Amino acid sequence: MTQLKNIYISNGLNEFKLTNHNDLIKVYGIDVVQIHGYSNLSAEHKNIFDFFIINFFNACGLETRARLMPVSINFVLDEEYLGKENESDACYIPLGGKLTALHDGGKTKVIRCWKDKVYCHLPCICTERQRYLRFEYKNGKSKTWQHVISAAKWY
């Protein structure tokens, strides 16, 4: 941890906060434009991500930041197929879904499809659709992702 603190200090970041992409490159060797999927984002989504990535790193402690490695950023269409066991049921059951990257210029790429092993035999009654920026990263050995709402909001 002392080595990481020294890198921050040697780059004039005495409060251990990144301020821009150059800081991300100097401290962690991460070039935002090289993150998989970045080149496929629209200008609007690139702008959101550019500010988000700095905020995201700064929201983490130094130990966590040292383990973070961006994997990809995509603007996605997340579809979830829903059904019911009984027509009278109040709640829907997720039967499966599909995650599709929506590239600037109109191209698409299916990232992932899934089916529930227990309920996939039920008929699909409706499909829920969401569009959002999806940031995937490794935190040590585990891979996870964030649903990016804005440069300052994610979950």
Beta carbons of 145 and 135 less than 8 angstroms apart = yes
Which pLDDT value is given to residue 23? 97
**Domain, as residue range, for 11:** 2-154
Tokens of 26: 């100097």
What does residue 44 show for φ and ψ, rounded to 5 degrees?
A: -65, -45
pLDDT of residue 1: 74
Q: What DSSP designation does 50 have? A: H
pTM, rounded to two decimals: 0.91
pLDDT one digit per residue (tens) for the chain, 155 residues: 789 999 999 999 999 999 999 999 999 999 999 999 999 999 999 999 999 999 999 999 999 999 999 999 999 999 999 999 999 999 999 999 999 999 999 999 999 999 999 999 999 999 999 999 999 999 999 999 999 999 999 99
Cα(93)–Cα(11) distance, integer angstroms: 52
Distance CA 30, CA 26 (A): 8
Q: H/E element holding 77?
A: strand 68-83
